[in-house]
Amino acid sequence: MSRNLTQAAMLAIHILMPIIFLFGAWTLPEAMPVGLREAMYLSPLYYFIEMGYGILLKGVGLDILWDSLLGLIILGVVIFTYGVWRFKRQFS
User: Chunked in runs of 10, what are the mean pLDDT values of the chain (92 residues)?
Assistant: 88 86 79 88 89 93 94 95 93 80
Q: What is the largest CA-CA distance in the chain?
A: 49
- Looking at the chain, how many residues does it have? 92
pLDDT of residue 92: 76
Asked if 36 and 47 count as a contact pair (C-beta separation under 8 A), the reply is no
pTM over 0.85? The answer is: no
pLDDT of residue 71: 94
Helix locations, 1-92, DSSP H: 5-21, 34-39, 44-52, 62-90
pLDDT of residue 47: 92
pLDDT of residue 70: 96
pLDDT of residue 43: 86
